[in-house]
Amino acid sequence: MQIREAVLEDLPRLLDIYNYAVRETVATFDLTEQTLEQRSEWFGKYGGRFPLIVAELDGVVAGYSCLSSFRAKPAYDRTAELSVYIDPEYWGRGVGKRLMKEIIERGKAVGHHSIVACITGGNEVSVKLHEQLGFRFVGTFRECGYKFDAWQDVSFYELLI
C-alpha cells in the first residue's frame, strides 16, 4: 500500500468514493451526489496546512483522508477536522488505519494542536478505529442531521497532538 499526496488526476476516483458515501451511508450529510466541478472546487482547498492524501493499492486509489479547517475564526487555526473515506471494496484491509496514521503525522508536521472527528451514530467501526489511534469521545449532538428518513446523531472525538 502506498500513501501519497492526492493529485488532480485522482479526482474522478475520489469523486466515486465520496459519492458512494453520499448514496449509501450516513458518513456524510450531503444528500445529493457531487459533480466533478464541485469536487474540483473542494480539491482546491487542500495543500499546505490542510493535506489531502490517498492510499493506493495495485495502482488503484482505495481511499483518501484529509484535514480541513475546523472553524473559520482565527482562534481555531491550530485545530483541524479529519475525514476519511474508503472504497467499500477495500474495507477491512487496514486502509483507513494507514491513512489516519499518516494524516495525523502530517497534522503534527504542519503545526496543528488538535484534530477533531465527527462520527455519525451507529458507525462503530469508525469509533473503534479512532479510539485505537488515541481519539477520545467528547460529546454527541443528538438528532442534528436528517438523512435516509431518519434523524442522525453525531459524536465528536478529539486527539491532542
**Tens-digit pLDDT profile for residues 68-121:** 999 999 999 999 999 999 999 999 999 999 999 999 999 999 999 999 999 999
pLDDT range class, residue 158, cuts 50, 70, 90:
very high
Could you tell me the pTM of the whole model?
0.95
Full strand arrangement of the beta sheet holding 52-57: 2-5, 52-57, 60-69, 79-86, 114-120, 150-160, 136-147
Domains of the chain with bracketed CATH: 2-160 (3.40.630.30)
Q: What is the pLDDT of residues 116-156, one digit of tens each?
A: 999 999 999 999 999 999 999 999 999 999 999 999 999 99
C-alpha 48/C-alpha 132 separation (Å) is 27
**How many helices and strands in the chain, by DSSP H and E?**
4, 7
pLDDT of residue 145: 97
Letter for the amino acid at 119?
Answer: I
Number of Cβ atoms within 10 Å of the Cβ of 73: 8
Please list, in sequence order, all residues whose beta carbon lies within 8 angstroms of the beta carbon of residue 133, skipping any fewer than 6 positions away: 97, 100, 101, 104, 159
Q: Is 1 exposed, middle or buried (0-12, 13-18, 19+ CB in 10 A)?
A: middle
Helix (H, G, I), strand (E, B) or coil at 141: strand
* C-alpha count within 13 angstroms, C-beta hemisphere, residue 13: 18
pLDDT of residue 37: 97
pLDDT of residue 139: 98
Q: What is the pLDDT of residues 5-57, one digit of tens each?
A: 999 999 999 999 999 999 999 999 999 999 999 999 999 999 999 999 999 99
pLDDT of residue 28: 96
pLDDT of residue 148: 97
pLDDT of residue 103: 98
C-alpha 45/C-alpha 29 separation (Å) is 19
